[in-house]
Amino acid sequence: MGIISEKDREQLIKILKPLSNNVRIITFTQEFECEHCNITRNMLEEISELSDQISLEVHDFVKDEDLAKGYGLDKIPATILLGDRDYGIRLFGVPAGYEFNTLIEDIILISRRDSGLSKEVLSELSKIDQPVHIQVMISPT
Amino acid sequence: MEFPGIILDIPSISQSRKPDNNSIYDMLIVGGGPSAMSAAIYGARKMINLALITLDFGGQVKETSVIENYLGFQSINAQELVAKFEEHVKSFDIPINLGVSIVEIKKKDDIFTVYMEDGTNFLGHTIIFATGERHRQLNVPGEKELLGKGVTYCATCDAPLFKGKKVIVVGGGNSAFTTAFDLLKLDAEIILVNYASGWQADEIFLKKVKKSEKVQFLDYYEVLRIEGNNRVEAAITRNRKNGEEKRITADGIFLEIGLLPNSEPVKNLVELTKQGEVIVDCFCRTSIPGFFAAGDVTTVPHKQIIISAGEGAKAALSAYDHLIKSYPI
């Protein structure tokens, strides 16, 4: 049995059916996979099978060190979500528990190429003129 | 760490598409409480070209803890019931505009325009207005300044913060007594302050609260101001019989003085009561053809979730009748 149950799989297929643009998922693991890297990779493989618009690339954190650095990664398991550009979204750790919904919601938003933020908020955000590093600490349960 | 599995929470995944600002929808539903959500489901099942416009989902239901009088549920957590409503709505392909307030609704040449706070607008042949109510404010000094710092309108949200503390509850009706009852369970010391003379709460609530020695009753008193330096410290009250002022020290103040209908966006469009409720007939019709209203914002008595849900369904079916008569296929 996979990580995603048959019941959840059916619901996810429905949710992901309207995806209008492609979403690239990149995950970094390593040759000797830790338990969490293994779960993350398996989970993402299952997700990528749910829609033609989702593709998955698996990289090695050690062997593909330069690529990992290029994405600003310093730990694994790491999941990067890309659309027609890099929106800077990085998920570290297993997107398990309720955070699974964050992962799915991110995929949907990236496919829409729309953050869902209002014009007013986007206008305020456009005033930021220097790099800002935001880290959201979460508990998967 | 043991793998916690995945928890798929469909309503939390915002999958709905946004409404188009250039289309004229057959039905625009304004609001996100039980009446609006019920109207959306009925409208969608009638295959009406509709859109839902709301600041958020749940309305006042979200401020309740447990619901024990909604058909089919002997007891259900309010958030869970809202999630079920939302999931039901989102099971239809309904465009939803979420997170922006509406400013005004106008009608011109049989087309309604809903003007949004962010400068956008939406067009519709019919409107179902279901914006609900909000808490009435005291409008005294200190109320705004100390909101969230001891001043609260939501016992469900904030009562646990006042466990074992001294709290003033303003109001004399069922809401005030329910709040007092919730606070008693938390071993709080309570001062009930009632502006009117005599307590308006149902006998069952009066009995429950009055038997406690931890409640002090100030009948026919008004709150003049709320004092505190970054936290509520006291309220200044006045005895309305003899004018005597009294400073009551407290850690918090719950304002349970009724509700106001959210009808400002249509005050220049449809007939309202003096209290601001949208006047509706038994078909949820208002004074303006094509403009229907449902739920707590209307004159329909007994503000209950089940009644709002029913009214929403009725409004959608009435709007459907209006559409097929006005715009025959």
Q: How confident is the model at residue B311 (pLDDT cuts 50, 70, 90)?
A: very high
User: How close B325 comes to chain A (CA, Å)?
Assistant: 34
Interchain CB contact of B216 with A (< 8 Å):
no
- How far is C-alpha B230 from the geometric centre of its chain's CA atoms? 28
Contact B6 A15 (CB under 8 A): no
B168 three-state secondary structure? strand
Domain(s) of CATH 3.50.50.60: residues in chain B? 24-135+259-326, 151-255
Contact B8 A97 (CB under 8 A): no
Residue B64 pLDDT exceeds 80: no
* Helix count and strand count (H, E) for chain A: 5, 4
User: How close B6 comes to chain A (CA, Å)?
Assistant: 4
A42-87 tens-digit pLDDT: 999 999 999 999 999 999 999 999 999 999 999 999 999 999 999 9
- How far is C-alpha B124 from the geometric centre of its chain's CA atoms? 24
pLDDT of residue B278: 98
Catalogue all structural domains in chain A, each as residue range(s) with its CATH number: 6-125 (3.40.30.10)
What ipTM did this prediction achieve? 0.82
B230-265 tens-digit pLDDT: 999 999 999 999 999 999 999 999 999 988 999 999
- Residue A103 sits at φ, ψ, to 5 deg, of -60, -50
Q: How confident is the model at residue B1 (pLDDT cuts 50, 70, 90)?
A: low
Residue A141 pLDDT exceeds 70: no
B125-166 tens-digit pLDDT: 999 999 999 989 999 999 999 988 999 988 877 888 899 999
Maximum CA extent, chain A: 48
For chain B, give the percent of residues with pLDDT over 90: 74
Q: What is the mean pLDDT of residues B192-211?
A: 91
B67 three-state secondary structure? strand
pLDDT of residue B99: 86
- Residue B175 tokens read as 């809401």
For chain B, give the percent of residues with pLDDT over 70: 96
* Nearest CB partner across the interface for A15, out of B3, B5, B15: B15
Domain at B151-255: CATH architecture:
3-Layer(bba) Sandwich (3.50)
Domain at B24-135+259-326: CATH architecture:
3-Layer(bba) Sandwich (3.50)
- Residue B116 tokens read as 């949004």
What does the H/E/C string look like for B118-158?
CCCEEEEEEEEECCCEEECCCCCCCCCCCECCCEECCHHHH
Q: How confident is the model at residue A19 (pLDDT cuts 50, 70, 90)?
A: confident
Contact B119 A119 (CB under 8 A): yes
In sequence order, which ranges of chain B are alpha helices (DSSP H)? 34-45, 78-90, 155-158, 174-185, 203-210, 305-326
Q: How confident is the model at residue B277 (pLDDT cuts 50, 70, 90)?
A: very high
- The tokens 């908020």 sit on which residue? A121
B27 three-state secondary structure? strand
